[in-house]
Amino acid sequence: MKKIVAGVDEVGRGSLIGPVYAAAVILKKNIDKSKIKDSKKLTKKNREILERYIKKNSYWSIGSASLKEIEKLNILNASLLAMKRAIKKLIKKPSYVLIDGNKIPEIKNYKFKCIVKGDEKIPQISAASIIAKVTRDRFVKKLSKKFTKYAWDKNAGYGTKLHLKAIKKFGVTIYHRKKFSPIHNMLSPN
């Protein structure tokens, strides 16, 4: 029996806003793996082109953990929850799941392997990083239309100087992660 390998990666852990996303991807035989690279090494346009190509030539799914879950569980556990949801949504059950990083979500009856910097080394994980990133970017872009002062369309909610300056000037939105230190520190009186 042929091994079915899924790659899993998450995106948005370091962002100050919104949910964290994860994708799980099983590449089909016909896909050209040489095209697939770590999402961080691609331009926005190339990521979007590759995302469509990967989706057409793979089994894929998305999982996320909400802002509320991030605040309740912490960002690491929320990321693992998003990964777990993505893995469980795959229409094919993988023989092996390769995870980017060094932590494994708790799911029974799956074989896992963690690969640090897996998004740079393993096509399945790179593909997952692309799908997760493009999906989260679309969500943040939509949000940025409502909250133009924070430049989320440019910073994806990460703590850039411009974003932190906007928070100080305009305050915290309902999408900000209030337990994350820059925001928590701004909100605490001491």
The CATH number covering residue 122 comes to 3.30.420.10
pLDDT tens-digit readout, 9-65: 999 999 999 999 999 999 999 999 999 988 888 999 999 999 999 999 999 999 999
> Between the CA atoms of 103, 107, 111 and 117, what dihedral angle is there, to the nearest 10 degrees?
-20
Residue 2, pLDDT > 80, answer no
pLDDT tens-digit readout, 49-58: 999 999 999 9
Three-point CA angle 42, 26, 108, nearest 5°: 120
User: Which of 122, 86, 91, 92 is closest to 105 using CA atoms?
Assistant: 86
> How many structural domains are present in the chain?
1
Whether 187 is in a domain gets the answer: no
Residue 190, pLDDT > 70, answer no
Whether 23 is in a domain gets the answer: yes
Q: Which residues contact 53 (CB under 8 A, 6 or more apart)?
A: 31, 35
- 8 A C-beta contact, residue 139 and residue 17: no
For the segment 74-84, the average pLDDT, to the nearest whole number, is: 97
Whether 180 is in a domain gets the answer: no
pTM of the model: 0.94
- 8 A C-beta contact, residue 118 and residue 40: no
Q: How many CB atoms are closer than 10 A to CB 23?
A: 36
> E strands of the chain, at which residues?
5-11, 20-27, 58-65, 96-100, 112-115
Its domain, for residue 69, covers 5-145
The CA distance from 179 to 16, in Å, is 9
Whether 178 is in a domain gets the answer: no
Whether 65 is in a domain gets the answer: yes
Whether 137 is in a domain gets the answer: yes
Whether 96 is in a domain gets the answer: yes
Whether 53 is in a domain gets the answer: yes
